[in-house]
Amino acid sequence: MNPNPGSENPPRKEPAQSTALQLACGRLLLLGVVFVMAYGVVAVRVIDLMIVQSASAESVQEAEELARLARSGDLLAQVRRGNIYDRNGVLLATSLKTPALYADPALILDKPAIARALSQIFPELKEAETLTKISVPKSRYAWLRPNLSPAQQDKVLELGEPGLAFEYADSRIYPQGVLAAHLLGYTGRDGTGLAGIERGAQKTLAQGRDVTLTIDVRLQHALHREMKRAIEEFSAQAGAGMIMNARTGEILAGVSLPDYDLNFTSVLAADPEKNKEILTNRLTLGVYEFGSVFKIFTTAALLETQDAPFSMTFDARKPLKIGRYTINDYHAQKRVMTVPEVFMHSSNIGSALMARSVGAQKLQGFLSDLGFMNRPQFDILEVGAPLTPKPWGESSTITVSYGHGISITALQLCAATAAMVNGGLQVHPKLLLPASGDVSVIKAQARLISEETSQKMRALLRLVVTQGTGKKADVPGYNVGGKTGTAEKSGGKKGYNRKSLLSSFIGAFPMDNPEYVIFVMIDEPQGTKKSYGYATGGWVAAPAAARVVTSMAAILGLPSDQYDPTQDISLPLEQYVKPETPEKKKLASN
Amino acid sequence: MKKSMLLQASVFLAMCVSGGVLMHVSQSVRRAERDLTRLDLSIEREKEALRVLSAEWSMLNSPERIEALAKRYLDLDLPDAAQLVSDPKKLEALQAEEEGILIPASLDSGNGATAPVYLPRKPQKHEASSNTPAQGETRE
């Protein structure tokens, strides 16, 4: 400390001795102080370690986890793929860390027993295959199964096999299973969207932002249930259905059958060719000749471009011969018919004559305005391009008038029908719900037909349900209107197969100001005893649509007493419709 | 002499105290860092648990499952369209006709209910509609 302790107290006698002693004393003191300080530091550190820090350190496990976290420093920074929600905030898709099972073959002693035990826990793991996987000599890694559920993981842990281990990775979970399978789509193992909205909104989702869809799971389920029921009842091959908001084009529900559980897509997606039937989105990708439902547009074209009155007549007494084609009526009336009659009896001859009076060019222009000539823009990328007649000859005009020779997607059909009934404004189908107040995504709605024509179309569509081919789509109190369609699918001798049908119904309700467009299509239905062998749109698709409307009413809380039958919009059309039987005439006069 | 001893002692004491304070500060910083990491970790854990729980919630609430459970345990079925009315008075009228019909509590508030009301299903209709769809299957 003080290098010369004696300097402040200068000794007079025996200076040398006293200086040496004082120096030694000072050095000893210094040494002592250094030691005391060193021990002091150690003591403080010991107190710190044993008392201060031990109070906060909870366990060894915690420390280990902290160390692990510190090692994978990017764990917190890693971007998780965004979630997908329905319009009410129900979770449709999320990413979770799930355990994947792998084996270290070198550590497994009783390999056959483990293979057997695993095949019992996971029915899809074949015992023999697993055994080969874990019996590879010198191998230290055998990947067994991704996405274990907590219960499955527990069972594996109960085996107590040190050679079985888990690695954790993000995987996509779809809590609603098969619901809206084709609309949601799926991701690959690397987490990139491969189909549906997973692919369509890949950029947003990859940035970790959530996506909200326009669909409502409750309506989706109702539609799915009724579609499935109709397909089973009529032993059909496939089907498609949609509920769309008639004004905004928001898709509230969309079903394509057969479908698949989104949580098990890896097997299906591995072989897309073989599983094409299941993976094809029949709403947006599949293009179909829809048949009679197309008469909606032929009739609208007539009313809009020719300003035709309902009283205009068409001679449907004899089959129409155009070139090598002969056009017949399915529900043949064999008489001269007015516009409402042609529409409600779904007369092919009448529609062909309508198209003729519109003219090829105007009809083409009209259909092009409806968006039937181009591939539609949509939030999902799997969208089919329509097949239109090329070149467009006279016979094309005729066949297109009743929905043959032109193939479009269900999406286009629904959007165009919505425009016919919503007052005439074009709708752009939407699957991504725009954030409230976000006007950037709202596209201009062009006027396709006048409000007056739209009003007429509503009355005609209602007439089909009250008196025409779509009677089975009626739900008392809900003012349903629509058009049935039964198309023969291409194939067979004359280019069309009489036995394989595409039966559909497209409608809207409530008809005095439609809010919802409903579409049901059943592919290759077989007539049943209950339908007297018929497999037409009126027998197959219309009842399913009615059941969907009934369910929708309950789900959305739409009361049944808001409709007044005496004010029905189809009543003014009855003057143009010849009553079929004396009995019906009597009813009409009442 | 005494003065210098006092000075030395106070310098020594000050060093000890400052050393102690320094150590305390460094220890509390380390502790705070550990706490921070631990909190980050537990937040991450909670978030993950929330994700799992919300997925589970969505799965357990899937309409398909709820419908199956309601059918199985509550003997509930899909309502007929005609059961849904907007006028609560219809229910009151029905109650006057038949005994044993309860008016839902929500109607008593009398706030000009805009929400639709479910009328009870008529017993004989229940038999018919449980097997066949609601409307006109027997027509034609």
- pLDDT tens digit at each of 140 positions of chain B: 678 889 999 998 999 899 889 988 988 898 888 888 888 888 888 888 899 899 999 999 999 999 999 888 887 778 777 777 777 777 666 666 665 555 554 544 444 445 666 776 665 444 444 444 434 333 33
If asked whether residues A98 and A232 sit together in one domain, one would say no
User: How many domains does chain A divide into?
Assistant: 2
| Cα dihedral sign, A573-A575-A577-A583 | positive
If asked whether residues A256 and A325 sit together in one domain, one would say yes
Asked if residue A497 lies in contact with residue A283, where contact means CB atoms within 8 angstroms, the answer is no
What are φ and ψ of residue A432, in 5° steps? -95, 125
Asked if residue A407 lies in contact with residue A415, where contact means CB atoms within 8 angstroms, the answer is no
Peptide bond into A514 cis (omega under 30): no
Q: Is residue A30 part of a domain?
A: no
Picking from A379, A503, A371, A354, the residue whose alpha carbon sits closest to that of residue A429 is A379
Which of A1, A91, A474 has its CB closest to that of B135? A474
DSSP states along A286-310: -EE--GGGGHHHHHHHHHHHS---T
Q: Please state at what angle helix A217-233 crosses helix B63-73, rounded to 10 degrees.
A: 70
More confident residue, A70 or A276: A276
- The beta strand positions in A364-495, using DSSP E, are 408-409, 481-490
pLDDT value at A5 more than 60: no
Per-residue exposure over A128-162, b if at least 16 CB sit within 10 Å of its own CB, e if not: eebbebbeeeeeeebebbebbeeeeeebbeeeebe
Q: Is residue A110 part of a domain?
A: yes
- The beta strand positions in A285-442, using DSSP E, are 287-288, 313-315, 320-322, 325-327, 336-338, 408-409
User: CA nearest B81 in A: which residue?
Assistant: A550
Side-chain half-sphere of A341: how many Cα atoms within 13 Å?
Answer: 22
pLDDT value at A157 more than 50: yes
> Domain containing A453 — which CATH number?
3.40.710.10
Residue A453's Cβ-count burial label (10 Å; 0-12, 13-18, 19+) is: buried
- B131 near A CB under 8 A: no
If asked whether residues A137 and A250 sit together in one domain, one would say no
Q: What percent of chain A has pLDDT over 70?
A: 88
If asked whether residues A91 and A232 sit together in one domain, one would say no
State pLDDT tens for residues A440-469: 656 778 889 999 999 999 999 999 999 888
Instruction: State the Cα–Cα distance between residues A248 and A277, nearest whole angstrom.
Output: 31
If asked whether residues A402 and A507 sit together in one domain, one would say yes
State pLDDT tens for residues A207-245: 889 999 999 999 999 999 999 999 999 999 999 999 999
Entry pTM = 0.80
If asked whether residues A122 and A256 sit together in one domain, one would say no
CB pairs under 8 A between A and B: 136
Q: Is residue A342 part of a domain?
A: yes
Instruction: State the Cα–Cα distance between residues A330 and A498, nearest whole angstrom.
Output: 12
> Domain containing A132 — which CATH number?
3.90.1310.10
If asked whether residues A244 and A315 sit together in one domain, one would say yes
Q: Is residue A414 part of a domain?
A: yes
DSSP states along A130-152: HHHHHT-TT---EEEES---HHH
Catalytic residue (choose from A95, A171, A256, A292): A292
If asked whether residues A358 and A498 sit together in one domain, one would say yes
Q: What percent of chain A has pLDDT over 90?
A: 41
What are φ and ψ of residue A38, in 5° steps? -60, -45
Q: Is residue A310 part of a domain?
A: yes
Asked if residue A507 lies in contact with residue A461, where contact means CB atoms within 8 angstroms, the answer is yes
Confidence of residue A80 (pLDDT cuts 50, 70, 90): confident
Q: Is residue A381 part of a domain?
A: yes
User: CA nearest B47 in A: which residue?
Assistant: A96
Which of A96, A466, A532 is the best substitution to test chain B (most B C-beta atoms within 10 A)? A96
Is A95 known to be catalytic?
Answer: no
User: CA nearest B51 in A: which residue?
Assistant: A96
What are φ and ψ of residue A365, in 5° steps? -60, -40
What one-letter code names the amino acid at A577? V
State both tokens at A301: 């074209």
State pLDDT tens for residues A284-299: 999 999 989 999 999 9
Report B:14-73 residues touching A (Cβ under 8 A): 16, 19-20, 23, 27, 31, 34-35, 37-38, 40-41, 44, 48, 51-52, 54-59, 61-64, 67
More confident residue, B132 or A321: A321
Instruction: State the Cα–Cα distance between residues A117 and A107, nearest whole angstrom.
Output: 16
If asked whether residues A240 and A165 sit together in one domain, one would say no
Domain enclosing residue A419, as ranges = 220-264+279-435+446-589
Which of B64, B77, B139 is the best substitution to test chain A (most A C-beta atoms within 10 A)? B64
User: CA nearest B48 in A: which residue?
Assistant: A96
If asked whether residues A298 and A154 sit together in one domain, one would say no
If asked whether residues A351 and A249 sit together in one domain, one would say yes
Domain boundary pick from A173, A192, A208: A173
Q: Is residue A271 part of a domain?
A: no
If asked whether residues A256 and A125 sit together in one domain, one would say no
Q: Is residue A306 part of a domain?
A: yes
Which of B135, B138, B139 is the best substitution to test chain A (most A C-beta atoms within 10 A)? B135
Torsional class of B126: left (φ above 0), alpha (ψ -120 to 50), beta (otherwise): alpha
Q: What's the alpha-carbon Rg for chain A, to the nearest Å? A: 38
Report B:84-123 residues touching A (Cβ under 8 A): 84-87, 90, 115-117
